Structure 1
Amino acid sequence: MPDTIETAARAALAEVLPQDLPPDAIALDAEFDHLGLTSLNKVLFLTSVCDRTKVGLQHFTEHDLAAMRTLGQVVDALSRHAEVN
């Protein structure tokens, strides 16, 4: 499942980035701020990736969501809840 989550997260992030990057060109440890992701686009990204992976946003507190600053952190967080729909 983590490969599927990573693939879904990369695709969702690539869709909201201001620059045109292919999903596999996004480093797992790249900070969202350095990628130019706005707070609105972060919300759109997280909502999209949760929908794609069937992981409900209710599993995360506001603090959890704010702490997710890289693609790798999002993938790790979603992986922990992937089987809890």
Structure 2
Amino acid sequence: MFRIFARKRVQMDQGIIMGFRSRIKLDPEEYTRRMNVREKDYERKGFSPKDAVGELAPGTVYLDRVDEKWRRFYKRTENTPKL
């Protein structure tokens, strides 16, 4: 177990606060359904996830597809500079 101590009061960045407030709220059943789909897809090859990319925040990197050789291909959502 780790602990972090700060000598001064830590101020939260407004971007972090806005990120928390902009999260999508799901009921437990929908969350469980989505997690079950991800668990089933974890060891598959030759597939593309069916998740809604429109729900992701700008600049989020997401899995686009996995080919037959288990290579994973990623994409980034729009409206952000590339790293």
Normalised to the residue count of structure 1, the TM-score between the two structures is 0.24
Which structure has more strand as a fraction of its residues? Answer: 2
Instruction: Select the structure of larger CA radius of gyration.
Output: 2
> Comparing both chains, which one has the higher relative contact order based on Cα–Cα distances under 8 Å and sequence gaps of 6 or more?
1
Which structure has more helix as a fraction of its residues? Answer: 1
Normalised to the residue count of structure 2, the TM-score between the two structures is 0.24
